[in-house]
Chains A and B, each alone.
Chain A
Amino acid sequence: MRVFLVAGYCGGRGMKEREPRVFVVDDDRSVRTSLATLLESDGYTVDTFVSAADYLAKAPHLGPACLVLDVRLPGLDGLALQRQLAERGRTEQIVFITGHGDIPMGIQAMKRGAVDFLPKPFDDGALLNAVGQALACSAENWRKCDEVAQVRARIATLTPREFEVFRLVLAGLLNKQIAAELGAALRTVKTHRGRVMHKMGVDSVAELARLAQKAGVTPAPLGP
């Protein structure tokens, strides 16, 4: 069974912590504070950090998060931070801002999954759009995460036998084939199947298959 690394993040205490947050990291005070003001003016809740190290030190936010990040930072620079966050599997979406627009740098950032790469001074509308986009993306991710967690929770309620049956159903096997595979009575298989369907909350195998795909459950391998 795969233990999802992400589980620690996608789970937990419930939707009420799932409010969107924006984080700003820039070593320049005026940029930092003005950016925070701007974002607040659009209704976001903002936290600011002086350096990348500071940001890493803080516990990750449980909820949609957008990170507005300057490329050039003392110590750990923006791109390095992006790499580190990715390594740690963090979910915040990054919007890069930079004082000197550099094409290779930008391409690299975008390739690594940044939402946007804006040169300073930037159009406020552009930034807010990017942040909105990032948060939406992040929120979507969280939703997806939640969904997966939900499904997985359901799967967790399955007994091992049920789980097996589940997998074999996924493989597309008929009940009698499953019984043969498992060496169990047909009646037993049907019962299990029924329980699986019930526990998973689905009506059709197709739905089951979708859920299984979401949860990352692979059908049982067939054949010799």
Chain B
Amino acid sequence: MPIRASRLLCRLIELSAFVKGALLLVASGFAAVPPATERSVLVLYSERGDLPAIEAVQENIRQVLHASTSPRIELFSEYLDFSRFPPEQYEKILVRYLQERYAGRQVDLVVPVTGFALEFALAHRELFPGAPLVFCAIDQRELEKIRLPADATGITAHFDIGRTIELILQLQPNVPEIVCVSGTAGFDQRWAEETRKIMGRFHSQVRTRWITDKSLAETVDEVSRLPRDSAVFFVSMLRDGIGQSISSVDAVRDLARVSKAPVYGVSSQFLDAGAVGGAMFDFGANGRSTAELVLKTLRGQWVPYGAPETESRNSLLINWEALKKARLRESRVPADAEVRLRPPRLWQSHRTFFLVVTGAIFFEAALIGGLVAERFWRRRAEVSLRQSEERMSLAAEAANLGLWFWDVGGNQIWMTDKGRALFGFTPDEPLDYAALTARVHSPDRPARDAAITGALKTKGEYAVEYRVVLPDGRLRWIGARGHCTNNGDTNSTRLLGVSTDITAQKQAQEALRESEARFRTLADTAPVMIWMSGTDKLCTFFNKGWLDFTGRPLGQELGNGWAESVHREDLDGCLEVYVNSFEARHPFTMEYRLRRKDGEYRWVVDSGAPRFAPDGTFLGYIGSCIDITERKQAQDRFRLVVEASPTGIVLVDAQGRIVLVNARAEKLFGYGREELIGQPIELLVPERFREHSAHRACFHATPEAWALGAGRELFGRRKDATEFPVELGTSPIQSLEGTLILSAIVDITERKQAEAEARKHREELAHLSRVAIMGELAASLAHELNQPLTGIVNNASAGRRFIAKGRADLPKLDRLFEAVVEDGRRAGGIIRGIRAMVHKDNQVRGPVNLNDVIASVLRLVHSDALEHHCVLVTEPDPELPLVKGDQVQLQQVLLNLVVNAFEAMGETPLAERRVIIRSERESDGRVRVSVRDFGTGLSVENPERIFEHFFSTKHGGLGMGLAIVRSIISSHDGELAAVNAEGGGTCVYFLLPAIAEGAA
């Protein structure tokens, strides 16, 4: 056992011994003191004292009460033995007996054990007045029948018959019947009664049979004949069928011995007697609890009946041996059951032996383990050492290092094989300083000697490069580093170090130098200006081009001298970009003005990039500059033009993103340019026009310039989401970046307003003209209206007369009313026609049949024609195509022409006064309507004069009529003309485009 552990154990033992001794001392000290109080407790047993259950109770009560020292208990016990001495006969005697016996004694507390005793005690409280009762082993059911006084308490017992029956059913699910066994004593009968009640609950699951009123022997005999799969429930037998006094435990023992079927019961005593089990009441435990309650009561702690402490619990107990004997499966045992009487396992019985053996084994194992570990670690260390030695050799090999060690005093040189090989020595040649030096290439000897001597003198380090001449004549560059190690005295100075072949390096250096020279030449001959700077941002190099440009010597430019040539305004920006990029090690491009040697400031674009060594170290920057003055000027001009343009300019790339805007565009749309650049063009277009991007896609496919907006009303969208009408002209630009689209945007709000005003004026004028012409026709129109009105009045009056005369019949009246309605409608129609003509805005363009227009005009001028004694003739084309136009305006046109025709024939004889209105389809698809009169005709010199504004041959005429007619016709995309007709008179006609078939 580990020594440390055993030491600890000894300590513990010592400690506990000490503590125990102390305690004992204290306890005995207490014992010497006389007890503070002494109490008497009387235990009344219902039955006799030699029943195992009662013995258990008694034993436990005795143990607990005698253990109490405060108060000290004097225990009295009386056995009432009611089974053998029935209370009816002996009660009185018992009372007198108790009275006389305890006359001089003070009984502080009475403990009735089992039901009868409690009843007796309650019935005879006068025997021990003032003594509280603490009962024991009384079942709850019994207690319910008794009215307990306030000074009675106790531990209730529980004979759990129901749960025991359930256990039977659990362990033997297929049990055919349960045989109940009970005796004839009062106690037996009471519990048999209870059992019957409970068995009633299970009558549907299992049959019940009772064996009572038989002698014990008979009972045993009967039970022995029971089949194995049956079950016996033992209730209680204090007296058997023939009057013998029995102890239940003995009875169970006898039964268990012979019964093939398992025996169950409710008392823990039965378990030891061979019963299989049950929900068993432990008399002993109950007795203990009761005694503890007694002590509490005597100490003043009253626990009333019903408190949780007064409850007792029965556990499910199983006798393992009996279980096995009855061949019942352990798996059926409920989980909460306590299995007792299990034979102890092997190691349980020989515990000490096992422990010792196990301890020894573990100890041995630990020892072995320790030894093995120690060996393992040692091995590892050895391997590690060997490995590191190897590694060092390898490293040295790989690095081509020759290790050497020179004992200066003893003039001894030790070198690794590699080192020797470097110098061209074989591994076994003797080496000393002179031999080595001999190999050194003569020109390099002085430097080497100096370095070595220097190191020796200072006892410091040395590093030198030199060439050696190999035996085959080749030269090899060697780089050697070393340092002195000293043991304290000058005589034994030692140098140790490494040497390596640096030929390749040297060659590389040479090459580098050469390439640098080449670079320099290149830089100087290139036509661009080149500069270089180091890691400190200061410039280290300017090529010839730069120096020629600035006209300054290199010395002035180096460092930060170059900045003096930079234009004052650009300097800050220039330095900022340079410094920032430098910090970030980013390439940069910047533009600034640099003073040329002639004093003029030229724009240059300076591109710089960081330089890195092959191993990645930052070396500085290198850059170039180009004179871009011309380009810049051109750019500027362009930019100025764009910026100053009075139209908004927006440049859009192939993805539809805005690339450039000018100031006017900013103002138009209300954005700053930084808000627009990069945004999609849709930002400036109201949602409903946004399919514009689809346009753009096809636009790219055929990049020809076309002006958007032809025939389309376009709007632009400002930042505040308001819209304004725009005229848009776009054209594609092929640039190196791809196709860009240039859009010129003009805000045509004012123009639109002006147009709208003009249109309004025209409409007003047209309206006034319509009103005027209607005014001219007023009289005729009034006449025209009068006709239907007259008809109405006449018909209505006639109707009234018929009625008055009694000659009215309904069909006649109906006809009259019909005529009235007809006339009314006619009048309404005329008024509508008038209204339409004088109504103001009627800009309704739709398909119009000109024949209908002619017909409506005829209606309007009917009376006027009569007044002028003119005859109207119409020659309509029945298949006249439709035209697109405003019906009212076209009516106005025709009306004007017809009225003019009437008036033109003022001089014509009545009989010849005719106006011919003809509609026909022209060969070019247009529709022609002509109005021909037989008047004087047009003046030959100037037939067009009639269309002039304010030209009129009418008295009091404004002369606007035909001018307006012309404007109406032209707004319908038509043509108006007047010619002299054959046979005299004027023919005025107009042509209008027809609506295409199917498009109407």
Contact = CB atoms under 8 A, between A and B. Distances in A.
A204 interface: no
B795 A72 contact: no
Given A30-B819, A40-B798, A99-B786, 18 more contacts: A28-B787, A28-B791, A30-B790, A31-B791, A34-B792, A34-B793, A37-B794, A37-B816, A38-B794, A38-B801, A41-B799, A41-B802, A73-B866, A100-B783, A121-B792, A121-B794, A122-B790, A124-B797
Interface in B206-225: none
A43 B871 CA distance: 37
Nearest to B911: A75
Nearest to A28: B787
A99 B863 contact: yes
Contacts of B793: 34, 121-124
A221 B788 CA distance: 61
Contacts of A97: 790
Contacts of B782: 99-100
Nearest to B867: A72
A33 interface: yes
10 contacts: A30-B826, A33-B819, A34-B791, A34-B794, A37-B794, A37-B819, A38-B798, A72-B783, A100-B786, A121-B790
Interface in A1-60: 27-28, 30-31, 33-35, 37-38, 40-43
Contacts of A33: 791, 819
B789 interface: yes
A31 B871 CA distance: 21
A194 interface: no
B795 A37 contact: yes
B805 interface: yes
A72 B788 CA distance: 15
A133 B131 CA distance: 153
A41 B826 contact: no
Given A72-B866, A100-B779, A34 B798 contact: yes
Contacts of B867: 72
A201 interface: no
Interface string A76-104: 00000000000000000000010110000
A31 B798 contact: no
B822 interface: yes
Nearest to B802: A41
Interface string B811-828: 000001001001100100
A134 to B, nearest CB: 17
A30 B797 CA distance: 14
A31 B794 CA distance: 8
A113 interface: no
A216 interface: no
A29 B385 CA distance: 141
B783 A99 contact: yes
- Ranked 3 nearest A-B pairs via Cβ: A124-B797, A99-B783, A34-B794
Given A40-B798, A41-B805, A124-B794, A34 B783 contact: no
B795 to A, nearest CB: 5
B863 A30 contact: no
Contacts of A198: none
Task: Give the secondary structure class of A's interface.
Answer: loop
A38 B787 contact: no
Nearest to A30: B791
Contact of B787 (A42, A74, A99): A99
A50 to B, nearest CB: 13
Given A30-B819, A37-B816, A120 B789 contact: yes
- Tell me what chain B mostly uses at the interface: helix, strand, loop, or mixed: helix
Contacts of A30: 787-788, 790-791, 819, 822-823, 826
Contacts of A74: 866, 871
Contacts of A28: 787, 791
Contacts of A120: 786-787, 789-790
Contacts of A42: 801
A121 B787 CA distance: 8
A73 B657 CA distance: 78
B790 A31 contact: yes
A106 to B, nearest CB: 15
Identify which of B783, B816, B863 gathers the most chain A CB atoms within 10 Å of its CB: B783
Given A33-B819, A72-B866, A74-B866, A38 B786 contact: no
A52 to B, nearest CB: 13
A27 B793 CA distance: 18
Interface string A103-125: 00000000000000000111110
Nearest to B807: A41
A72 B802 CA distance: 30
A98 B399 CA distance: 138
A38 B795 contact: yes
Interface string B870-903: 0100000000000000000000000000000000
Contacts of A99: 782-784, 786-787, 790, 863
B713 to A, nearest CB: 50
Contacts of B819: 30, 33-34, 37
Interface string B761-790: 000000000000000000100111011111
Given A99-B782, A100-B782, A35 B866 contact: no
Interface string A58-75: 000000000000001110
A38 B804 CA distance: 13
Contacts of A34: 790-795, 798, 819, 823
A75 B85 CA distance: 163
B168 to A, nearest CB: 122
Contact of B786 (A40, A41, A121, A124): A121
A41 B803 CA distance: 9
Residue of A41, A97, A120 with highest tally of chain B CB at under 10 A: A41
A43 B807 CA distance: 11
A10 B298 CA distance: 170
A38 B816 CA distance: 10
Contacts of B863: 72, 99
Contacts of B791: 28, 30-31, 33-34
A123 B826 CA distance: 21
A73 B869 CA distance: 9
Contacts of B866: 27, 72-74
Contacts of B807: 41
Given A30-B826, A31-B790, A72-B863, A38 B797 contact: yes
A123 B867 CA distance: 25
A36 to B, nearest CB: 9
A120 B793 CA distance: 10
A61 B867 CA distance: 30
Contacts of A122: 790, 793
Contacts of A43: 805
A38 B822 CA distance: 17
A42 B795 CA distance: 12
Contacts of A37: 794-795, 798, 816, 819
A120 B799 CA distance: 19
B794 A35 contact: yes
Nearest to A33: B819
Nearest to B787: A28
B474 to A, nearest CB: 141
